[in-house]
Amino acid sequence: MDPFARKMLLGTVAFGSAMALMAGALWVVYAHTHPRCSDQVLAQLDSPDGKWTAALMERRCGEDAPFLLHVNLRPQGDALKLGFFSGRADEGEVFVVEEDTQRVTPTLQWTTPEELAIRCSGCRTALVRKQDERWRSVGLRYRLQP
């Protein structure tokens, strides 16, 4: 092969590889800064002993997707951990309900330092997607009122 043609071929392969790497890096940055889901904290409540924090959050994953209300628990003082690409706060999620109307309004109340009561007026059982009974040492009680 002609030395000049060989240099041109190697240069083309190197340039193409560099462009592919740059496109991949830009996609990673875009996917992180514009996640598919957006979580917004609506309310937070610390346990009486200051050990835990309960957060009521709202999530939407796309324009055609429904709004979801969810409750997340975490140790007090820890920041919410959002997925790097998803933007979702899945860690510590104990309760998820689809918000089909404005009447769906969960409220949080610590009844003891190790028990959280979740009351939800307007919550129909068919709309509840997740309902854990326990998270770590915290017991969960639910009062769903349609």
Parent domain of 49: 38-145
Position 111 scores a pLDDT of 96
Strands (E), 10-137: 38-46, 52-60, 67-75, 93-99, 105-112, 115-121, 128-131, 134-135
13 and 75 in a common domain:
no
Cβ-proximal residues to 119 (8 Å cutoff; 6+ apart), any chain: 106, 107, 109, 142, 143, 145
16 and 48 in a common domain:
no
59 and 131 in a common domain:
yes
Beta partners for residue 107, in sequence order? 119
Number of structural domains found in the chain: 2
Position 101 scores a pLDDT of 67
Position 61 scores a pLDDT of 84
- The predicted model gives 83-91 an average pLDDT of 85
Q: How far apart are CA 88 and CA 70, in angstroms?
A: 11
Question: Which amino acid is located at 15 in the chain?
Answer: F
What secondary structure letter does DSSP report for 13?
A: H
